[in-house]
Amino acid sequence: MNSGISFPSHRENRFYQGVAATFVANALQAVNFLGDRFLRQSHHPFTAIEDLYRHSMDSAFAVTESFLVTGAPHASAYYPRDFAWFYPDVLDPDTIIDSQDAVRRARLLDKSVRLLLDAVRANVVTTTIVPAGRARYLGVNYFSRPSDTLLGILAGLRQMISAEERGSSYLAMSECAHAGRLLLAEYCGDLKRAILQLASELEPFNDAGSTYLLCDASAPRSAATDTRAERRRFVTNACVHTTYVWGVQLGIVNENELKRRLGRDLAQYKRDLLHLFGKGGHIRHSLDGPTGSPVSSVALDFVNVHRGFWDMSEESERALFAATADLIIAEPRFRIPGTFHFLVSADNPRNKMIHKIAAPAYQGRSSWPTFNVEFADRLLDYDEFSGSNTYRSCARGILKDIRTATEVHGGYQELISEQGLKYRTWAYKGAVAHSWFPRFLSVWRRAHGTPLLQWND
């Protein structure tokens, strides 16, 4: 029996980067945002969570899509990092509506990962890829070089390869896993080169007589929340460590080879990061800038990615996580009033003119529903590994409020304002983040033991 999935044959993609490419990419993005600002139509009238989810999946994985993206205005550009931060459960069987939905998801994930691997082969490892005509793409970095682009590519590849291990009856899942294994074999050398290049870019950072390795000791590296343009951030360095771990797990690079480059094994490298960023008893968001009050020095993105930096395997690691989580949970400035909806930070950081006109201030007084979902998932990780029931009620509260916001706003939002409204700047009307929705369902099932939605295929 054939599932109907059709994986594309290879075609030559061309990638460009540099000053000219950046100029053209910026112009295309400006047009895209302005078009979204003035031309976007009002959303569908659904309010029931099941109807919203069906509509979202039809939009996110439509057969006409060429790449997996969140939603307008970002659908006009491709963000490799999103496969680690926002799309880890695209192939979770509990989130798939029917066999046709499974085929569309597997097809689009395969197309997206192939394109990103072609970019790596062309040595274009950037935060953003902007389409510029048939099989032509512009690689551009917004604000700074990436720390998590390779992580996103590995995440997409890992999800493909593990598709048939998730207990699904859909034939598309086994076909997707086979395609993932073929991609890994074909592009393994290119990925190894890129991972070792990332290792060679780490810089020594001296603190209190000890030397640490950071990816951003002298210049910023971007991560999913990158508009602060700070150096020495926890999340960027956690992303780099996770990239190395996943590279070893996939058999792309040998740990001993990384050890020779780093001068320490991955376990020691991680302990160093925890010691450096956690010496105050909690995980400090950034070492750049003056030390403030504890709640002013932490940010919600410390949760990192699914199966990423935090594995909760050691008591000292769990203690640091719990201390940081407790600061966020207890501080009223981290919450939309009356909810368990957490904001990215307690204090408004640098808010430049571009943030007011075109782009959201991701590190500011706004809420990312997807980061809230990851926070809930890490809280459940803590309870599981500590054998406690410390945070389950908080995790459930987070998910309940995200469901409420989704129904109120007519879809799963990319950002929610400090007042609990749709996030809006002049040119940014707020994206409905269709492709992030499955992750919410996956964590909901984990928190409650039963699925939020059920289908009969």
**Crossing angle for the helix pair 392-409 and 369-386, nearest 10 degrees?**
160
* Per-residue pLDDT at 46: 81
* Per-residue pLDDT at 230: 84
| 3-state DSSP assignment of residue 346 | coil
How do 203-207 and 210-214 pair as beta strands? antiparallel
* Per-residue pLDDT at 42: 66
Closest Cα partner for 100 from 57, 71, 143?
57
State the Cα angle at 226 between 222 and 231, rounded to 5°. Answer: 65
State the Cα angle at 184 between 183 and 189, rounded to 5°. Answer: 110
**Phi/psi-derived region of residue 431, left when phi > 0, alpha when psi is between -120 and 50, beta in every other case:** beta
Report how far residue 380's alpha carbon sits from residue 390's, in angstroms, rounded to the nearest whole number: 9
How do 14-16 and 136-140 pair as beta strands? parallel
* Per-residue pLDDT at 428: 81
Report how far residue 148's alpha carbon sits from residue 165's, in angstroms, rounded to the nearest whole number: 25
- Alpha helix positions (H), 88-233: 99-121, 149-161, 171-200
> To the nearest 10°, the Cα dihedral for 169, 171, 175, 180?
-30
Tokens of 197: 């290049």
Beta carbons of 181 and 159 less than 8 angstroms apart = no
* Per-residue pLDDT at 9: 47
State the Cα angle at 418 between 414 and 421, rounded to 5°. Answer: 60
**Per-residue confidence of the chain (457 residues) as pLDDT tens digits?**
345 554 444 568 999 999 999 999 999 988 988 888 888 876 667 889 999 999 999 999 999 999 999 888 888 999 999 999 999 999 999 999 999 999 999 999 999 999 999 999 999 999 999 999 889 999 999 778 999 999 999 999 999 999 998 888 899 999 999 999 999 999 999 999 999 999 999 999 999 899 999 999 999 998 887 656 689 999 999 999 999 999 999 999 999 999 999 999 999 999 999 999 999 999 999 998 667 789 999 999 999 999 999 999 999 999 999 999 999 999 999 999 999 999 998 886 666 777 777 766 666 788 999 999 999 999 999 999 999 999 999 999 999 999 999 999 999 999 998 889 988 888 888 888 999 999 999 999 999 999 999 887 5
CA atoms within 13 A on the CB side of 448: 15
| Number of Cβ atoms within 10 Å of the Cβ of 238 | 28
Tokens of 184: 């890994």
- For the stretch 342-400, pLDDT in tens is 999 888 666 677 777 776 666 678 899 999 999 999 999 999 999 999 999 999 999 99
**Crossing angle for the helix pair 437-448 and 369-386, nearest 10 degrees?**
30
DSSP 427-448: S----B-GGGHHHHHHHHHHHH
* Per-residue pLDDT at 143: 78
The whole model's pTM is what?
A: 0.94
State the Cα angle at 260 between 255 and 261, rounded to 5°. Answer: 95
Closest Cα partner for 356 from 347, 346, 366, 342?
366
* Per-residue pLDDT at 7: 47
Tokens of 315: 């008591």
Report how far residue 390's alpha carbon sits from residue 44's, in angstroms, rounded to the nearest whole number: 39
* Per-residue pLDDT at 227: 53
Report how far residue 330's alpha carbon sits from residue 64's, in angstroms, rounded to the nearest whole number: 45
The values of phi and psi at residue 426, to 5°, are -60, -45
Report how far residue 277's alpha carbon sits from residue 287's, in angstroms, rounded to the nearest whole number: 7
* Per-residue pLDDT at 455: 86
Closest Cα partner for 211 from 268, 257, 272, 166?
272
Q: Which residues contact 143 (CB under 8 A, 6 or more apart)?
A: 127, 220, 222, 226, 227, 229
